[in-house]
């Protein structure tokens, strides 16, 4: 169990209670091109998702408060491993952005305004529709008819 009296994790360089964007890149993955919407940003760079790297990430997430967002960039297996660690730390899917460097840009079809938005994000992450601004959750479902991956409105269950 984590408690308020727990000392900050050593070696992460993170303030206890850090709120902002934590960027973790693996291999040649590059989070520098990612914007953090003006929020405080803390970068981690790892060669790969080794147990050491993942435990460092776990420490960083463990000492940050609710409201932190996580950006992950790199090879898919590495960022998937990191995302699993983040989920263990209590981060929700919508608080993480996974950018796979192998991923080709994908066109996401918006069911609301019928426009397509190109994204590098992997299936399961969110992208804002460039047509109507709806937050779309991307899927692996490719529609030949649309020539795009189908998106669906994120948090639709919360909105109803
Ligand atoms: Zn739309």
The pTM of the full predicted model, rounded to 2 decimals, is: 0.57
Tell how far the Cα of 132 is from the centroid of ligand 1, in angstroms: 4
Tell how far the Cα of 126 is from the centroid of ligand 1, in angstroms: 13
Residues 6+ apart with CB under 8 A from 133: none
Tell how far the Cα of 147 is from the centroid of ligand 1, in angstroms: 16
Burial of 10 (0-12, 13-18, 19+ CB in 10 A): exposed
Tell how far the Cα of 157 is from the centroid of ligand 1, in angstroms: 18
Neighbours of ion ligand 1 (CB under 5 A): 110, 112-113, 129, 131-132, 134
Tell how far the Cα of 6 is from the centroid of ligand 1, in angstroms: 45
CB 61 within 8 A of CB 85: yes
pLDDT at res. 33:
58
Tell how far the Cα of 72 is from the centroid of ligand 1, in angstroms: 25
pLDDT at 126 over 50: yes
Tell how far the Cα of 71 is from the centroid of ligand 1, in angstroms: 24
pLDDT at res. 75:
84
pLDDT at res. 6:
45
> Given pLDDT bands bounded at 50, 70 and 90, which one contains residue 94?
confident
Higher pLDDT, 12 or 68: 68
Tell how far the Cα of 91 is from the centroid of ligand 1, in angstroms: 27
pLDDT at 157 over 80: no
Cα–Cα distances in angstroms (integers) from residue 121 to residues 7, 55, 73, 74, 160, in the given order = 35, 24, 10, 11, 26
Tell how far the Cα of 114 is from the centroid of ligand 1, in angstroms: 6
pLDDT in tens, 13-30: 677 778 888 999 998 766
CA atoms within 13 A on the CB side of 73: 17
Only one residue has tokens 């948090």, namely: 155
Q: What is the mean pLDDT of the chain?
A: 81
Tell how far the Cα of 133 is from the centroid of ligand 1, in angstroms: 6
Only one residue has tokens 């435990």, namely: 55
The domain made up of 106-159 is a member of CATH 3.30.360: no
């Amino acid at each position: 169990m984590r408690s308020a009296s727990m000392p900050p994790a050593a070696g992460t360089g993170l303030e206890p209670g850090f709120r902002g964007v934590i960027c973790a890149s693996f291999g040649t993955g590059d989070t520098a091109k990612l914007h953090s919407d003006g929020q405080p940003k803390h970068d981690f760079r790892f060669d790969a998702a080794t147990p050491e790297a993942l435990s460092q990430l776990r420490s960083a997430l463990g000492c940050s408060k609710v409201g932190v967002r996580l950006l992950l960039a790199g090879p898919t297996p590495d960022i998937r491993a990191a995302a699993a660690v983040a989920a263990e730390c209590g981060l929700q899917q919508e608080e993480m952005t996974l950018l796979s460097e192998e991923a080709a840009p994908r066109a996401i079809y918006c069911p609301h305004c019928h426009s397509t938005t190109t994204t590098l994000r992997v299936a399961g992450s969110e992208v804002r529709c460039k047509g109507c601004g709806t937050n779309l959750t991307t899927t692996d479902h490719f529609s030949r008819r649309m020539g795009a991956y189908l998106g669906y409105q994120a948090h639709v269950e919360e909105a109803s």
